[in-house]
Structure 1
């Protein structure tokens, strides 16, 4: 059973985001980048399935500029067997629809039985790629997974997912697309031996423009601004003053 895992290079979650002076986007120059945290969880899920004898091969794929190779080397160090880098120019922005189309091409080539993706990327928070990919492939999907169990014959999987009312368990036929949520696992750290071994693992580079996929953007970003800073709170003397402020100042009543 082959598992394909999507990983994305994003600004590290611990970095303070700064908006460009012309409001066209966020500053990425000389900023620490790392693997999208939800993709780390998806990768860990795939590696655990391989360690359990369910999967035989883990293939990581990333769509990004040349520097994204660092993320793929990290994925290889954490347990991927092979990596595929779909490379594009540094200043190109690829929308979820284009990402899903490119991943579909890779799926058609690699023929995995499961595609594991993070539920969303922390840079755009689109939360769309898994669902679009499932639709393009006409595969079943399970989103926001907090537990994944594959049947012995590897024809189906039971996925527990978090919903507003609690937990929901879905039984899906394989092949399928699964997006992974925070509570699925805790990603491992790669040790020095694994990092050195990752340098010898296969890493295939493909050019995005040569894949025969329409990657034209359908969305135009007009302006990027920082969120408004929170205002300080205040104290009220009694319920009557609270009611007055809610009604006349906040206009909530």
Structure 2
């Protein structure tokens, strides 16, 4: 649950937590999510916002860019390495054919990939300290957001239909008795892979 995620962040060193919960958020898309996050970040104050590359629900991967735009700050996205020094965030973005070295002045928003470092785990001392750290609960009204701006009413996207993934069919087993290569080539050609 979201509160557990906030507590985990506190146990790994965050000073305080904010949990935004409001029935009006049901059905919020990336535009609404970026609006809520922008209001939270503006209210809390920031030098650097660090985000993941995509959520597990929509996997659009655009919330970091939308957040940076709403905040009016630079963005550096999809970083595999990040460092901060002298009021500048620097990082490396790895592509299929090359890597890029990027930087931006703070304040900024960055997003990191799953290649950005080893997972950290909270220490026992951190877990115990987290229990004493404040976690605030905010609603849309606390952030000055009208309910019609987020949720299903404010969504820019609409889910038209949902279907279960079709069951996987059993594969074809080819026993190679001298004809395996030919059978494989025929299969690949039949699937238009070659």
Decide: shared fold, TM above 0.5.
yes
Gap regions ≥5 residues in structure 1: 1-66
Structure 2 CA distance, aligned partners of 1:238 and 1:189? 49
Aligned: 1:250 with 2:191: yes
Counterpart selection for 1:219 from 157, 171, 177: 157
Instruction: Calculate the TM-score normalised by the size of structure 1.
Output: 0.65
1:208 offset after TM fit, Å? 2.3
Q: Are 2:18 and 2:135, in contact at CA under 8 Å, matched by a contact in 1?
A: yes
Larger Rg: 2
Q: Are 1:88 and 1:209, in contact at CA under 8 Å, matched by a contact in 2?
A: no
1:115 offset after TM fit, Å? 0.6
Figure out how many residues of one structure are paired with residues of the other and give that number: 184
Gap regions ≥5 residues in structure 2: none
In the other structure, the counterpart of 1:233 is 172
Deviates more, 1:71-80 or 1:235-244: 235-244
1:233 offset after TM fit, Å? 3.2
Structure-2 change in CA distance of 1:196 and 1:240 (3 Å): closer
Aligned: 1:192 with 2:131: no
The 5-angstrom pairing of residues 17-96 of structure 1 reads 67-89=1-23, 92-96=26-30
Instruction: Calculate the TM-score normalised by the size of structure 2.
Output: 0.82
1:246 offset after TM fit, Å? 4.2
In the other structure, the counterpart of 2:133 is 201
What RMSD over aligned residues (CA atoms) do the two structures have, in Å?
2.4
